[in-house]
Structure 1
């Protein structure tokens, strides 16, 4: 955990990073493009668990078609990668993967609001609960 803490502090000194006994918590503001709003986020990473990222403000919302937000878990936790494919593991740095993936997710979220299409690819559940590959 200390390695994750140090890497986050070094790569993102503007973020508030806390090292706890079994986890790292990181909060801050991110902005996917110069035209984007600032998004307040919270990341929590526990030993042996997947990192959990939530956007605190502004609230994530359905698009103009009233479509459900793609690539989110319950409580609008961001789905940044497909755990079954082991795209992230505990040997990888959150600062090198999870933070950039969060920024990229927000970029695709903003475009989804404009176009109605999720262009970020990936795999997410459909209405039947069966995972399908996104275009």
Structure 2
């Protein structure tokens, strides 16, 4: 294991050991910038649980999220509550229908996780690209194909 991997593991370990403080900071930053989301820290799951309605171009999207250092692979699980959105690699969804907002290896900053407050604007971008995909059949946003 190289030094960078060791440091990254130490950071993740500290975030797990100090999970409540870590999540309090994340929650504070989101609430400071995004008043349309309602967030709570769930003690049992050691995660932030959130829900909100995002209004764009005359349409409302119900957003559900969970954020925790205890989630495997990535801290975020962000969903759009809409039964018409079906799993499809072309629209950047994971198998559980959570949004694929970034590449978990290539887009993460060195030695760190992506803070939740930085991900929230990416939900709007995902929606714009999704609506364009429905219209044109092509994902027009930057992407790394899931088949890699």
Into which bin does the TM-score normalised by the smaller protein fall?
0.7 to 0.9
- The alignment's C-alpha RMSD in Å is 2.2
- Give unmatched runs, 5+ long, in structure 1: none
The alpha-carbon deviation at position 56 of structure 1 amounts to: 0.7
Report the counterpart of residue 78 of structure 1 in structure 2: 99
- Of the two, which has the highest radius of gyration? 2
Q: Which residue of 72, 77, 92 maps to 1:52?
A: 77
Distance 2:83 2:36 in 1: 19
Q: For 1:38-89, what per-residue CA distance to the aligned partner results, in whole angstroms no more than 9, with x for missing partners?
A: 1101111111542011111363158xxxx76521111321110000114364
Q: Which residue of 51, 54, 57 maps to 1:27?
A: 51
1:70, 1:124 within 8 Å by CA — same for their partners in 2? no
Change (3 A) 1:68 1:48: closer
Aligned partner of residue 52 in structure 1, secondary structure:
strand
Distance 2:27 2:82 in 1: 23
Report the counterpart of residue 142 of structure 2 in structure 1: 121
Change (3 A) 1:2 1:77: same
Report the counterpart of residue 108 of structure 2 in structure 1: 87
Report the counterpart of residue 9 of structure 2 in structure 1: none
Report the counterpart of residue 2 of structure 1 in structure 2: 24
1:58-69 alignment runs, 5 A limit: 59-61=84-86, 69=90
1:41, 1:57 within 8 Å by CA — same for their partners in 2? no
Report the count of equivalent residues: 119
Tell me which stretches of 4 or more aligned residues in structure 1 moved more than 6 Å. none
Distance 2:96 2:70 in 1: 21
Choose between structure 1 and 2: higher strand proportion.
Answer: 1
- Give unmatched runs, 5+ long, in structure 2: 1-22
2:36, 2:54 within 8 Å by CA — same for their partners in 1? no
